[in-house]
Structure 1
Amino acid sequence: MTVRIVREEDAEPFARVISQNRDFLQPWEPIRGEEYFTVEGQRRILDDSLLLYSGGILLPCTIIEKGEVVGRININNIIRGALQSGDIGYWVAESAGGRGVATAAVAGVMRIAFDTLGLHRLAASTLVSNERSQRVLEKNGFERIGMAPKFLKINGNWSDSILFQRLNEAYD
């Protein structure tokens, strides 16, 4: 498994894997328009992501296993100054679940966040019902720090989320 910065040529494999996993991902994501599942829709998302990356606000990454795109992981909302923080978000294809792919991807991006970007803190949230994602975060040393009622509009409903954080030990 490898994690690398997204590329424009990832649009086609992302559109394919997202379309193949549409039903699997639906309970964990916002309602998506049809364009999201197209190559052109993914190209626009990647172009926007690369623009935010160039501005230091986002670290957009592709998760690859055995040469195939199997997911995406980002550090969103990177804030510098006194906070030095970012929010991690990820998804993996159903076929990549249960084998440690998400856990390894989080570990890889966490190393970039702490060792390369010098962030002090990574935050994450999961739906209360998303126990698999909670285990991924806990395996990577994230600690639960609270609950946020009606935090995200997921699958058409405002949903409660469990909040997590991982601090960079280099700042201790």
Structure 2
Amino acid sequence: MIEIRPVKIEDANELLEIDIRNRELFETYSAADRKDSDYQLYNYRKNIEKYLQDMKNDDGYHYVIIQKEENKIIGTIDLFAVVRHNIQSCMMGYALDEAYSGQGITTIAAKKVIKIAFNELGFHRVEAGAQPTNVGSVRVLEKAGMIREGLNRSNVRVKGEWKDHYLYAIVNENF
């Protein structure tokens, strides 16, 4: 069905195409303030170069979601906001091509990346946020085994407006 693997520079074109196709949806929930000029192949390559450096520096981990039957990238899933030492936590975020939504794909990808976070990267806690209005994302986090711990009021600016986010988390001994 799907697999996830670390992003590669060669993925830039497919990722750009996904973001252009899903721009309205992604910008509804994303904190990234994007301009038309951001949707250029050069910028995607530059971003991937930064992601590769993040992975080397233990600052973040960036994966693509691949639909195996079509051997096609259909989304991304990331671990970011890495905190080590006595905390050992990170945040998880994801984006899936709308054409593939409602099939359980993001839930599977989330479970896979949580397993990587705990078993390969040594994290103790993985957190994620979802706007209360983003019912699909809330469902993904709950089906992936994450627990809603509270509401972060007005904590992320999306399209110039401060939005509430539910805080979800899972800890290693609960996975």
User: Distance in 2 between the 1:114 and 1:34 partners?
Assistant: 37
Q: Deviations over 1:88-110 (max 9, x none)?
A: 01110101100011001101101
3-state secondary structure, aligned to 1:23: helix
The equivalent residue for 1:53 is 55
Q: Per-residue deviation at 1:14?
A: 0.5
Q: CA RMSD in A?
A: 1.3
Kindly report structure 1 stretches of 4+ aligned residues shifted beyond 3 Å. none
- Distance, in Å, in 2 between the alignment partners of 1:49 and 1:157 is 27
Distance 1:24 1:76 in 2: 21
Give the distance between the partners of 1:71 and 1:36, measured in 2 at CA: 18
TM-score (norm 2): 0.94
Deviations 1:3-32 (A, max 9, x none): 000000111001111101112222111331
Uncovered stretches (5+) of structure 1, i.e. residues with no partner:
none
Partner residue of 1:95 out of 99, 110, 118:
99
Question: Residue 4 of structure 2 corresponds to which residue in structure 1?
Answer: 3
Cα gap change, 1:101 to 1:170, in 2 (>3 Å): closer
CA distance in 1, matches of 2:18, 2:24: 11
Q: Which residue of 2 aligns with 1:29?
A: 30
Structure 1 residue corresponding to 2:161, chosen from 157, 160, 167? 157
Partner of 1:38: 40
Give me the whole-angstrom Cα distance separating, in 1, the residues matched to 2:103 and 2:73. 15
| Structure 2 unaligned spans of 5+ | none
Q: For the residues of structure 2 that align with 1:67 and 1:138, how far apart are their CA atoms?
A: 28
Percent identical across equivalent pairs?
Answer: 29
